[in-house]
Chains A and B, each alone.
Chain A
Amino acid sequence: MNLTTQKNYRKFVLGLSIAVMAAVVIAVSSWPSQAQGNSEVTLIKNATILTVTKGTIQNGSVLIRNGKIAEVGTNIQAPAGATVIDGTGMFVMPGIIDCHSHIAVDGGVNEGSISVSSMANILDVLNPVDIDIYRDLAGGVTSANVLHGSANAIGGQTTVIKLRWGQPAEKLVFEGALPGIKFALGENPKRSNSTVLPGQPRRYPATRMGVEDVIRQAFTEAVEYKKKWENYNRRKATGELNLIPPRRDLRLDPLVEVLEGKRYVHSHCYVADEILMLIRVANEFGFKVRTFQHVLEGYKVAKEMAAHGAGGSTFSDWWAYKLEAYDAIPYNAALMTQKGVIVSINSDDAEEAQHLNQEAAKTMKYGGLSHDEALKLVTINPAKQLGIDNRVGSIEVGKDADLVIYNHDPLSVYAVVQKSIIDGKVYFDRQKDIANRAEIAKEKQALLDKERQAGAGRGGRGPGGGRGPGDSIQDREE
């Protein structure tokens, strides 16, 4: 249903309800938006709407109904009782999608003990009270691909989340988004820059060749494991009795899912030859690499990446922080884009995620991307890379109302997020945040005073005593 027809439909319903109000009052009240009350309806008006995929609308409006974008245009009237946000002088863009994040993870992002840690799953350790969620939300991020660290050739399982601050862990999960798995190539999985604890052996692999070997070994095992299950299921289906089922292996299950196309591979990488190596290995085993992450030498092999169908998720201009990052150039995102790679710019870092809009803007200077092309790097492109572009990444009717309101053009250094909206609900409001600070400070002081008066510490102090929730130290590698 396009804009016009939907409008007509609404008019029709409205007309109908007026005409036969007495008779069909029940039917009308079952119309979702009416039934749930107008609190579910929000109109952002008089703003510059950066749809990303359908151009820019000056002095435009976005109507949100039940968490979805219901209308986008220039002349939308607010339904009675709708919440109206005056966007005069403001810019509305789709919520930023961070394709490489390590926020909201409890108890370490690396299962760094072994080279294939695919049994570890970010989904199990999502921490909805990690303050980084709120901070990134304040930077306009509404969805993030939460990844395991890069200490292993094959790392843990990854999860796409929406930054629904205040909701429990299971509500963070981006419904329907395909899960992923983290791979890593180069210095991190071969532990080049790590100190070996006294008394412990160095972990295999120690070379780039070894990294390839580990991946190949793991998939060889996965293929074998898959066959075992297929064989069992086949025999069982033919009516054979008393068969012992194969043992479920949580390490190999996700690799089978990769082989079956049910799980995306997001591979941390730097140098060109390793990117080609992974493409070869993937082709050999018949799976796809969904994204190459960081991929600072992607510009050298962009054609091959595009041919494989792999996206590139990179940094704007972060470089030379280790040997394999020496060949990085700030033109990487633009060059890969020009070769037909779907490119995103990611944060890898809770602080960096607070200004991904500015990171995207740099590609206009380095590589001459257009305004829309630059915006795409943090909106529709990461959405495509994560397979969620049918839901988010642009301002289009029917998509999730995941929006950010800036006070300036988001690609300007003066742009500051005013509101971050997910599913039509305001999860960050700058004015409210500022207004709440005094109250929070007051409550904190009161609690501290109370504690001091009680002469804290009579009770025993046990393991974890004094460490509150959300204080977990989160160690991470890119």
Chain B
Amino acid sequence: MRARDVRSILSALVLAACALGVWSFYATDRARADEPSTFAIKNARIVPVSGAVIPNGTVVISHGLIQAVGANATIPPDARVIDGTGLTVYPGLIDAGTDVGLGALAAPAAAAAGRGGGGGGGRGATGGNVPISRGPEDRPGTTPWENAADQLLSTDARMATWRNSGFTTGLVIPRNGIFPGHAALVNFGAADRTDELVVKAPAALPVNPQGGRGEFTGFPGALMGQISYVRQVFMDAQWYAQAQQIYEAHPQGNERPAYDHTNAVIGHVIANKELVMFPSQTDVQILRALKLAPTFGVRWALTGAQQGYEVSDAIKAANIPVIVNVNWPVAAAAGAGGGGGGGRGGGGDTPEPLRTLRFRDRAPSTPGVLVKAAVKIAFMSGGVANPRDILRNVSKSIAAGLPADAAIRALTFGAAEILGVSDRLGTIEPGKIANLVVTDGDIFADTTKMKWVFVDGRPFIPPPVPDVPAAGRGGGGAASDISGSWNITFTTDQGSMQANATFQMAADGTVGGSVSSPYGTAPVTRGTVTGNQFSITISLLLNGQSVDILLSGALNGNQMTGTFGSPDGTSIPFTGTRPRAGAEEVRR
């Protein structure tokens, strides 16, 4: 009787919540003491992943853990019962590589400045400008001691959108840098204390040789410098561990090995066999990684690997797992943003090579090819803006030959196994963390809706999701129009300088145009305005090299203030004004 009452209240509330457009019914930040803690989903189709599909069964979860699962599982008397007729229960999906949870994308320059983007001058001590790195000894972009678990922001609305799309857990990878810090495995639940969401930290050590720096902007600039740097760091860490050990036992007569934070942390990673994530996208890069990474003396996984279909044998031979980036390559939109778009590899005048076209066509076949070669895989969203696209893109792989059960395995148990948490996540088995997705159909069908999502045993009811990119648009209303001609003033060590910018903004907030300065005219390669905040990247040709400069700041009517950020972390403030007449002309 009482359960019945609760159930009717519950469904009334659900209706009310839906009507009000409240996205997550239970998702108050703080767990309420009177919140139910035991649930039973009965009469549902259950895909436990650990075993055969149960066509009609019950899952019981209690106090954050799975208590029972089976065709005849006993429903405890205090359970809130959900009728699962017509519904399917899957383990919560795992996104094995994302920045969800870290907040909207910060301006790269500011982020780099704050985290050892350059030399030994400490973190952001100068409020933006970081000394140029002069070599490996300056440990550029190297902060392996950082931990994504300590960078989580409960205000990142994407945690909710990911959850609403069935992703209950993500491997959150810190941004920026060659050794940006440890990734953490995080449940996308709701809590005002984000610490409660952490499943495992540290969970893996991402290495990103290409820190997005230029050839002439501080060591390491070119790819070969970046690779040599990564190699030196791992060698240093191995040496340091050995030297330290000898010194501790025999300090007399031995020179004291100099303390180095990076060496100490990486040495720990090696000693503890922590997972090191090494990115590579194309077949050439994958073979390069397969040659390089084994010299580090670590347990490691490939990430990205979209052209893995070409080299699955080599990957299998190396006996390493792969976290495939499902953000499949697509042709650049022609004339994106009204100017300066297109860019490399497509949309421009240069015809794309066959190799590029084949790659775009075949990339989604990679997961199937790898599974066939008996390589362990997981999926990462790797920059996908709309979480619905993750499953859509996995569906493309299924269409390209990946068995559907292997796909769901990669999204759950496979990821858990690679990340070393298969004892607590990834299947519907008693004792495991109660992360579940309840759908009204096959999870890969585009029409399927997520009806319930459980994270750590707490229920969420996903709203009908509007199918638009959700990245980083946390309110602020319509974007201010940046279109028009701007006079920009800034000061460098070479004195006060003027620049002129012409921007065109499309209805969706993307920006095109160009910026002319004493350094030449640079086209906008990408840009967005969100609310009154703009973030525009221009490609400046300096000494025959293209350098990406980020303009970021805020619009205020016909005034703007912001900074130019260069890839090495240099940051120069500017102000801009938009003469009224010009603005009117260009405005649409």
In the complex, which of the residues A107, A127, A466 contacts B222, with contact meaning CB atoms closer than 8 Å?
Answer: A107
In the complex, which of the residues A109, A245, A459 contacts B330, with contact meaning CB atoms closer than 8 Å?
Answer: A459
Give per-residue flags for B315-327: 1 if the beta carbon is below 8 A from chain A beta carbons, else 0.
Answer: 0000000000111
Taking a contact as CB atoms under 8 Å apart, the answer to whether A156 and B331 are in contact is no
Distance of A463 Cα from B282 Cα, bound (Å): 14
Knowing A459-B396, A471-B353, the reply to whether A197 touches B547 (Cβ < 8 A) is yes
Knowing A468-B355, A475-B215, the reply to whether A148 touches B239 (Cβ < 8 A) is no
Distance of A114 Cα from B345 Cα, bound (Å): 30
The answer to the question of B43 belonging to the interface, with a C-beta cut-off of 8 Å to chain A, is: no
Taking a contact as CB atoms under 8 Å apart, the answer to whether B236 and A460 are in contact is no
The answer to the question of A32 belonging to the interface, with a C-beta cut-off of 8 Å to chain B, is: no
The answer to the question of B70 belonging to the interface, with a C-beta cut-off of 8 Å to chain A, is: no
Nearest-CB distance from B387 to chain A (Å)? 9
Taking a contact as CB atoms under 8 Å apart, the answer to whether B254 and A243 are in contact is yes
The answer to the question of A400 belonging to the interface, with a C-beta cut-off of 8 Å to chain B, is: no
Knowing A111-B221, A198-B570, A244-B247, the reply to whether A469 touches B359 (Cβ < 8 A) is yes
Of residues 324 to 361 in B, which have CB atoms within 8 Å of A's CB atoms? 325-333, 343-347, 351-361
Taking a contact as CB atoms under 8 Å apart, the answer to whether A460 and B385 are in contact is yes
Distance of A242 Cα from B248 Cα, bound (Å): 10
The answer to the question of B28 belonging to the interface, with a C-beta cut-off of 8 Å to chain A, is: no
Residue in A closest to B244 when the chains form the complex, CB atoms: A244
Interface size on A, as a range, is 35 or more
Taking a contact as CB atoms under 8 Å apart, the answer to whether B243 and A195 are in contact is no
The answer to the question of B259 belonging to the interface, with a C-beta cut-off of 8 Å to chain A, is: no
Taking a contact as CB atoms under 8 Å apart, the answer to whether B215 and A112 are in contact is yes
Contacts of B217 in A (CB 8 A): 113, 197, 200
In the complex, which of the residues B133, B222, B254, B353 contacts A470, with contact meaning CB atoms closer than 8 Å?
Answer: B353
Taking a contact as CB atoms under 8 Å apart, the answer to whether B493 and A460 are in contact is no
Contacts of B296 in A (CB 8 A): none
Taking a contact as CB atoms under 8 Å apart, the answer to whether B356 and A201 are in contact is no
Give per-residue flags for A33-48: 1 if the beta carbon is below 8 A from chain B beta carbons, else 0.
Answer: 0000000000000000
Residue in A closest to B243 when the chains form the complex, CB atoms: A244
Q: Give the residue among B225, B287, B328, B329 with the most A Cβ atoms within 10 A.
A: B225
Distance of A468 Cα from B358 Cα, bound (Å): 9
Contacts of B136 in A (CB 8 A): 119, 250-251
Taking a contact as CB atoms under 8 Å apart, the answer to whether A464 and B281 are in contact is yes
The answer to the question of B129 belonging to the interface, with a C-beta cut-off of 8 Å to chain A, is: yes
Interface hit among B142-150, B265-273, B537-545: B537-545
Contacts of A251 in B (CB 8 A): 135-136
Taking a contact as CB atoms under 8 Å apart, the answer to whether A113 and B132 are in contact is yes
Taking a contact as CB atoms under 8 Å apart, the answer to whether B224 and A108 are in contact is yes
In the complex, which of the residues A151, A169, A448 contacts B284, with contact meaning CB atoms closer than 8 Å?
Answer: A169
In the complex, which of the residues A114, A119, A195, A462 contacts B542, with contact meaning CB atoms closer than 8 Å?
Answer: A195
The answer to the question of B481 belonging to the interface, with a C-beta cut-off of 8 Å to chain A, is: no
Taking a contact as CB atoms under 8 Å apart, the answer to whether A120 and B360 are in contact is no
Knowing A244-B246, A451-B331, A463-B383, the reply to whether A156 touches B224 (Cβ < 8 A) is yes
Knowing A117-B225, A198-B492, the reply to whether A457 touches B333 (Cβ < 8 A) is yes
The answer to the question of A286 belonging to the interface, with a C-beta cut-off of 8 Å to chain B, is: no
Knowing A169-B284, A468-B359, the reply to whether A459 touches B132 (Cβ < 8 A) is no
Residue in A closest to B520 when the chains form the complex, CB atoms: A195
Taking a contact as CB atoms under 8 Å apart, the answer to whether A200 and B132 are in contact is yes
The answer to the question of B156 belonging to the interface, with a C-beta cut-off of 8 Å to chain A, is: no
Give per-residue flags for B124-137: 1 if the beta carbon is below 8 A from chain A beta carbons, else 0.
Answer: 00000100111110
Interface size on B, residues (CB 8 A): 100
Give per-residue flags for B217-236: 1 if the beta carbon is below 8 A from chain A beta carbons, else 0.
Answer: 11111111111110110011
Contacts of B353 in A (CB 8 A): 131, 468, 470-471
- Per DSSP, are chain A's interface residues mostly helix, strand or loop, or mixed? loop
Contacts of A250 in B (CB 8 A): 136, 228, 231-232, 235
The answer to the question of A260 belonging to the interface, with a C-beta cut-off of 8 Å to chain B, is: no
Taking a contact as CB atoms under 8 Å apart, the answer to whether A459 and B389 are in contact is yes
Contacts of A243 in B (CB 8 A): 246, 254
Q: Give the residue among B222, B236, B568 with the most A Cβ atoms within 10 A.
A: B222
Taking a contact as CB atoms under 8 Å apart, the answer to whether B257 and A471 are in contact is no
In the complex, which of the residues A169, A197, A470 contacts B355, with contact meaning CB atoms closer than 8 Å?
Answer: A470
Residue in B closest to A248 when the chains form the complex, CB atoms: B235
In the complex, which of the residues A113, A198, A201, A448 contacts B219, with contact meaning CB atoms closer than 8 Å?
Answer: A113
Knowing A111-B215, A198-B570, A199-B572, the reply to whether A457 touches B330 (Cβ < 8 A) is yes
Taking a contact as CB atoms under 8 Å apart, the answer to whether B281 and A194 are in contact is no
Distance of A122 Cα from B227 Cα, bound (Å): 10
Nearest-CB distance from A322 to chain B (Å)? 13
Taking a contact as CB atoms under 8 Å apart, the answer to whether B220 and A471 are in contact is no
Contacts of A444 in B (CB 8 A): 351-352, 354, 357
The answer to the question of A385 belonging to the interface, with a C-beta cut-off of 8 Å to chain B, is: no
Taking a contact as CB atoms under 8 Å apart, the answer to whether B545 and A475 are in contact is yes
Knowing A248-B239, A447-B357, A465-B327, the reply to whether A114 touches B134 (Cβ < 8 A) is yes
Knowing A460-B389, A463-B383, A475-B544, the reply to whether A119 touches B225 (Cβ < 8 A) is yes
Give per-residue flags for B271-310: 1 if the beta carbon is below 8 A from chain A beta carbons, else 0.
Answer: 0000000000111110110011000000000000001000
Nearest-CB distance from A235 to chain B (Å)? 11
In the complex, which of the residues B288, B292, B345, B564 contacts A466, with contact meaning CB atoms closer than 8 Å?
Answer: B345
Q: A106-B223, A242-B254, A462-B383 are in contact. List 5 more A-B contacts (CB 8 A).
A: A107-B210, A148-B224, A457-B331, A468-B357, A471-B344
Shortest 5 CB-CB distances between A and B: which pairs?
Answer: A107-B223, A468-B356, A462-B383, A108-B222, A198-B492
Q: What are 23 A-B pairs at a CB distance below 8 A?
A: A108-B221, A112-B222, A113-B216, A113-B221, A119-B136, A121-B224, A156-B224, A169-B288, A194-B542, A198-B519, A199-B492, A200-B132, A200-B570, A244-B247, A244-B257, A245-B243, A247-B243, A456-B330, A456-B331, A457-B333, A459-B384, A469-B284, A470-B353
